[in-house]
Amino acid sequence: MAQQNSTLTTALTNIGQSNLSGDKRALYLKLFSGEMFKGFQHNAIARDLVMKRTLKNGKSLQFIYTGRTKAEYHTPGNAILGNTDGAPPVAEKTVTVDDLLISSAFVYDLDETLSHYDLRSEISRKIGYALAEKYDRLIFRAIARGARAASPVSATGFVEPGGTQIRVGSSSNESDAFSSSALVAAFYDAAAAMDEKGISSDGRCAVLNPRQFYELVQAVGSNGLVNRDAQGTALQGGNGIIEIAGIHIYKSMNIPFLGKYGTKYAGTTGQTSPGNTGDFIGPDLEDASGAQTGINNDYGTASEFGAVSAGLIFQREAAGVVEAIGPQVQVTSGDVSVIYQGDVLLGRLAMGADYINPAAAVELYVGGTAPSAF
pLDDT in tens, 91-119: 788 999 999 999 999 988 888 777 766 77
The pLDDT, as a whole number, for residue 236 is 45
Checking if the pLDDT of 86 tops 70, the result is: yes
Which structural domains are found in the chain, ordered by start? 26-365 (3.30.2400.10)
Instruction: Quote the Cα angle for 329-280-114, to 5°.
Output: 55
Q: Is 5 helix (H, G, I), strand (E, B) or coil?
A: coil
The model scores a pTM over 0.75: yes
How far apart CA 22 and CA 194 sit, in angstroms, is 57
> Do residues 25 and 293 lie in contact, with contact meaning Cβ atoms separated by under 8 Å?
no
How far apart CA 1 and CA 20 sit, in angstroms, is 41
Checking if the pLDDT of 213 tops 80, the result is: yes
The pLDDT, as a whole number, for residue 28 is 62
Checking if the pLDDT of 31 tops 90, the result is: no
Average of per-residue pLDDT across 210-220: 86
The pLDDT, as a whole number, for residue 234 is 46
Average of per-residue pLDDT across 346-371: 95
Instruction: Quote the Cα angle for 293-294-295, to 5°.
Output: 95
Q: What single-letter amino acid sits at 171? A: S
Q: Which among 157, 150, 153, 154 is positioned nearest to 86, based on CA atoms?
A: 157
Between 85 and 355, residue with greater pLDDT:
355
Average of per-residue pLDDT across 309-316: 97
What are 144-197's pLDDT values in tens digits? Answer: 999 999 988 877 777 889 999 999 999 888 999 999 999 999 999 999 999 999
User: Mean pLDDT across the chain, nearest whole number?
Assistant: 85
Q: Which among 101, 88, 97, 147 is positioned nearest to 313, based on CA atoms?
A: 147
Q: Which among 58, 32, 21 is positioned nearest to 350, based on CA atoms?
A: 58
HSE-up of residue 258 (Cα within 13 Å, Cβ side): 25
Q: Which among 74, 40, 114, 50 is positioned nearest to 361, based on CA atoms?
A: 50
Say what the alpha-carbon torsion angle 12, 16, 19, 21 is, to the nearest 10 degrees: -70
Between 103 and 29, residue with greater pLDDT:
103
